Amino acid sequence: MTEENRRSRATEAFFGRRRGKGLRTMPGTALETQLPVYRIDLSSPAPGDLRELFRAPVSRLRLEIGFGGGEHLLHEARRFPDTGFIGVEPFVNSMAKMMLAVAKQPQPNLRVYDDDATQLLDWLPATCLDGIDLLYPDPWPKKRHWKRRFVSKVNLDRFAQAMKPGALLRFASDIDTYVNWTLLHCRAHPDFEWLATSAADWHTPYDGWPSTRYEAKAIREGRPPAYLTFRRL
């Protein structure tokens, strides 16, 4: 099956290109050797206990959608070795960078998925996640493309189905229209509540936050990030 046939309209709605420049030898080799080890196979039903997916004993489960260069995901996985992390990233070059990192330093509490995050969300059992991070997602800034933003009623329904009561949904962006969009959608959803009590709450990075090159560039260019936190009711 070709990649174009494999991709669905839903997949194309949330992210653009799958590849950038050709991979160099080391990232390419790491992708070939490590992705089969870390990739979650959705062709079989999810295990009743998702902790079985990991090569290390874990007590909690978190999901990061669109991990990009992987700085935050790796930081959190190393910071919380007793938590199992699932990272989703369809962009091949970013996944290759992650696989090169874990080839150099294995991460037994990490698994990844390299396609549409909605496929993974639909595969997960109910109330299994302790948290979801959606950090700097593609903002699709043109109004005619807003329907392609990942935050939507249908995807918030997916989040709510997969998250435990009390689990946290964290969203960060430097695009004010997407921040407003996310606030409107999450506050309108019956299963989520916004935890901010003052302006400082959404201007202050999360605890232990590792700033990324993308974020530093946004700040230099005058786009201050917002950090939103919602609780699954």
The residue-averaged pLDDT of 100-121 equals: 97
Residue range 18-29, pLDDT digits in tens? 554 556 667 789
Question: What pLDDT sits at residue 2?
Answer: 40
Cα Rg of the chain, angstroms: 17
Residue range 44-72, pLDDT digits in tens? 999 999 999 999 999 999 999 999 989 99
157 in helix, strand or coil? Answer: helix
Among 138, 157, 174, 191, the one annotated catalytic: 138
Question: What pLDDT sits at residue 14?
Answer: 54
Question: What pLDDT sits at residue 44?
Answer: 93
pLDDT band with cut points at 50, 70 and 90 for residue 30:
confident
Residue 232, strand partner residues:
192
CB atoms within 10 A of CB 164: 15
Question: What pLDDT sits at residue 6?
Answer: 39
Q: At what angle do helices 92-104 and 25-38 cross, to 10 degrees?
A: 80
Average pLDDT along the chain: 90
138 is catalytic: yes
**86 and 133 Cβ atoms separated by less than 8 Å:** no
The residue-averaged pLDDT of 6-34 equals: 61
Q: How far is CA 152 from CA 13, 14, 121, in A?
A: 11, 11, 14
CATH class of 59-232: alpha beta
Q: For residue 171, what are its two tokens?
A: 């969203």
Indicate the pTM of the whole model.
0.90
